[in-house]
């Protein structure tokens, strides 16, 4: 077995064991990442990349930074759904490269700008996280906790400080997005308070203490203007840090070994030895990148539920309070799902990303003629969006998916959620107009015609937000 595999495989096994409960990685998957040929088809379709074909069969997509007589400095670009783009600095020895598919100069300039924006955006967020001002408070259990006071909300948590800081920055981004999109028609009587428990057990105890028996992973109480949620990130973040620290130590050892080799051979060590060091270093760097990307994806559920409930809280507090009629429940839940899928990349909040799981579920339901009727979506009551018993989960999921699809269609295709027409529709509902009649007047179509167009749109919607134009498939 090569020294590369002797070094990397124990890391893979340890990492798979540590991440096993995270349901994201397997030993086989990690081996495929590092030791088996990669496919250029896995590269992001909307990003044009330089492609390096390694002599061992692996393929790397990214940006050529510099080429010398020794080899190539390269930025590997890793993009996965639901996670931020990760860029890894690599170096390929000249003898390692089988061939290169090169971008044009114009395409490389465009890619370089995108990569630079990612670096700037990531550094900007890291600085914001570092500079965030937190106050120490006492938790109900009398343990130390932290509080952040922002323009739109107050965050209180007994979770790890780094998790609290990251949650506060992400929430600030989301609230700013809500403010930019919906404005602020009023000031709330009390600030939005977000309580983030460090464990699911504590969260459930708090729910029970409030007399609530629900399965939702977070809860918004409009009477108290309070969001209650749980973090499950502590163990994951600790394991990530432990692995990163171990990898950094191994990289330092490799640097020391390369210096010794160059001294021993008077600056001209055998190419095979240097190649082996470069391959080992590159494998560890890729593990670090995958860990970072994985932690981001595994943290998505926490930030997703916070963004979801934060949407409800913002709309109720600043725009359409429930005490004055609020938004219809299906639209409130549908838009919350649209915004919960937003991803910050390159310092920008990208809203309107199509959720692939929901899209597939809705398309399957339409194809099998099992989609909820438009009338059932519009008439849904608040309790239908709360998971009280496990047996209700399937029906609730169906309603959530249908509400998401309808809200997405109205927001991004019909452009119906801005302007006087929206206000007129809401005022009509407040006056007591039957929901179906008010909806018909708002969209300006008979409901059966609107529903048919809505379903056609969903069936032609692609994961990238574009529409198929072929009517025959």
- Residues 6 or more apart whose CB falls under 8 angstroms from that of 414 comprise 443
| Whether the predicted pLDDT of 431 surpasses 50 | yes
Long-range contacts of range 59-65, CB-CB < 8 Å, 24 or more positions apart? 60/90, 60/92, 62/87, 62/88, 62/90, 63/108, 63/111, 63/112, 63/115, 64/100, 64/102, 64/108, 65/89
Mean pLDDT score, 220-234: 86
Tell me the C-alpha distance between 173 and 310, whole Å.
11
Least confident segment among 102-116, 118-132, 144-158: 118-132
In this predicted model, what pLDDT tens digit does every residue of 4-47 receive, in sequence order? 444 444 444 444 443 444 333 333 333 333 333 333 334 445 68
Of the candidates 316, 317, 358, the one whose C-alpha atom is nearest the C-alpha of residue 337 is 358
Average pLDDT over residues 227-235: 80
Identify each DSSP E strand in 139-296 by its residue range: 144-149, 153-157, 192-197, 218-221, 226-230
Report, as an integer, the average pLDDT of 301-312.
87
DSSP for residue 181: H
Mean pLDDT along residues 46-60 = 86
Q: Which residue has the tokens 């398309």?
A: 363
d(CA 64, CA 112): 9
Question: Which residues, 6+ apart, have CB-to-CB distance to 384 below 8 Å?
Answer: 329, 395, 396, 399
Mean pLDDT of the chain, nearest integer: 81
**CA angle, 395 as apex, 440 and 456 as ends, to 5°?**
45
Which has the minimum average pLDDT: 232-241, 305-314, 424-433?
A: 232-241
Query: What is the pLDDT confidence band of residue 303, given thresholds at 50, 70 and 90?
Result: confident
- When pLDDT is cut at 50, 70 and 90, the band that residue 63 belongs to is very high
Using an 8 Å Cβ cutoff, are 412 and 467 in contact? no
Arithmetic mean of pLDDT, 322-337: 91
pLDDT value for 247: 81
For residues 159 and 244, the model is more confident at 159
Sign of CA dihedral 407, 409, 415, 420: negative
**Is the pLDDT score of 224 beyond 60?**
yes
Query: Does 48 have pLDDT greater than 70?
Result: yes
DSSP 319: I
pLDDT average, residue stretch 273-279: 80
Report yes or no: 455 and 366 within 8 Å, Cβ to Cβ.
yes
Run of H or E residues at 471: none
Range with the poorest average pLDDT among 27-41, 92-106, 447-461: 27-41
Structure confidence by residue, pLDDT tens digits, 339-363 = 887 766 555 566 767 888 899 999 9
Q: Where are the domains of the chain?
A: 3-124+234-298, 321-473
Q: Residue range 215-222: average pLDDT?
A: 84
d(CA 374, CA 452): 10
Contacts of 370-376 with CB under 8 Å at 24 or more apart are: 371/402, 371/455, 372/398, 372/399, 372/402, 373/451, 374/406, 374/447, 374/450, 374/451, 374/454, 375/436, 375/447
81 has pLDDT over 60: no
Query: In the prediction, which pLDDT does 290 show?
Result: 67
pLDDT score recorded for residue 348 = 57
Using CA atoms, how far apart are residues 247 and 288, in angstroms rounded to an integer? Answer: 7
Cβ atoms of 182 and 315 within 8 Å: the answer is yes
What span, in angstroms and rounded, lies between the C-alpha atoms of 356 and 81?
A: 9
pLDDT for 51 equals 94
In the structure, what pLDDT confidence band is assigned to residue 113 with cuts at 50, 70 and 90? confident
In this prediction the pTM is: 0.68
Q: Tell me the pLDDT band of 451, cut-offs 50, 70 and 90.
A: very high
Cβ atoms of 395 and 385 within 8 Å: the answer is: no
CB atoms within 10 A of CB 436: 13
pLDDT at 374: 96
Pick from 75-79, 181-185, 329-333, 361-365: least confident = 75-79
pLDDT at 97 exceeding the cut of 80: yes
* Residue 26 per-residue DSSP state: -
Averaged pLDDT, 406-413: 93
Q: Report d(CA 412, CA 409) in Å as an integer.
A: 6
Most confidently modeled range among 70-79, 239-248, 430-439, 457-466: 430-439
DSSP letters of 54-118?
A: ETTS-EEEEEEEEE-SSEEEEEEEE--TTS--EEEEEEEEGGGEEEEEPPPHHHHHHHHHHHHHH
């Amino acid at each position: 077995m090569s020294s590369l595999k002797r070094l990397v495989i124990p890391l893979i096994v340890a990492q798979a064991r540590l991440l096993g409960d995270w349901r994201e990685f397997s030993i086989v998957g990690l081996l495929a990442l590092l030791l088996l040929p990669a496919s250029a088809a896995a590269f992001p379709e909307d990003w044009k990349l330089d492609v390096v074909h390694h002599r061992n069969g692996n393929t790397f997509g990214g940006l050529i930074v510099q080429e010398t007589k020794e080899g190539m400095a390269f930025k590997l670009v890793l993009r996965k759904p639901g996670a931020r783009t990760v860029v890894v600095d690599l170096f390929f020895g000249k003898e390692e490269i089988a061939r290169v598919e090169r971008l044009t100069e114009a395409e490389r300039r465009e890619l370089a700008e995108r990569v630079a924006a990612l670096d700037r955006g990531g550094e900007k967020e890291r600085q914001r996280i570092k500079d965030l001002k937190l106050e120490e408070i006492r938790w109900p259990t009398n343990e130390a906790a932290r509080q952040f006071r922002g323009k739109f909300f107050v965050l209180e948590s007994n979770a790890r400080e780094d998790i609290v800081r990251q949650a506060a920055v992400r929430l600030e981004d989301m609230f700013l997005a809500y403010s930019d999109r919906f404005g602020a028609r009023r000031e709330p009587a009390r600030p939005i308070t977000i309580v983030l428990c460090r464990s699911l057990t504590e969260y459930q105890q708090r729910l029970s203490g409030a007399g609530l028996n629900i399965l939702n992973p977070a809860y918004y109480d409009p009477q108290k203007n309070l969001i209650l949620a749980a973090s499950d990130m502590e163990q994951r973040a600790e394991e990530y840090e432990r692995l990163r620290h171990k990898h950094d130590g191994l990289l330092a050892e490799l640097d020391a070994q390369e210096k010794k080799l160059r001294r021993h051979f008077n600056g001209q060590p055998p190419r095979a030895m240097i190649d082996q060091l470069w391959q080992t270093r590159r494998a560890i760097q890729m593990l670090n990148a995958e860990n970072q990307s994985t932690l981001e994806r595994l943290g998505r559920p926490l930030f997703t539920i916070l963004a979801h409930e934060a949407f409800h809280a913002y709309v109720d507090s600043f725009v359409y309070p429930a005490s004055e009629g609020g938004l219809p429940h299906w639209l409130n839940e549908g838009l919350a799902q649209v915004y919960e899928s937003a991803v910050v990349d390159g310092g920008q909040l990208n809203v309107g990303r199509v959720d692939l799981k929901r899209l597939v579920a809705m398309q399957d339901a339409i194809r099998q003629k099992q989609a909820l009727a438009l009338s059932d979506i519009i008439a849904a009551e608040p309790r239908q969006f709360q998971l009280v018993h496990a047996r209700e989960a399937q029906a609730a999921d169906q309603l959530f998916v249908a509400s998401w699809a309808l809200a997405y269609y109205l927001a991004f295709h019909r452009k119906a959620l801005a302007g006087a027409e929206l206000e007129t529709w809401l005022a009509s509902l407040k006056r007591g107009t039957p929901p179906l009649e008010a909806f018909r007047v708002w969209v300006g179509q008979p409901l059966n015609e609107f529903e048919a167009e809505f379903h056609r749109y969903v069936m032609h919607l692609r994961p990238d937000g574009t529409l198929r134009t072929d009517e025959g498939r």
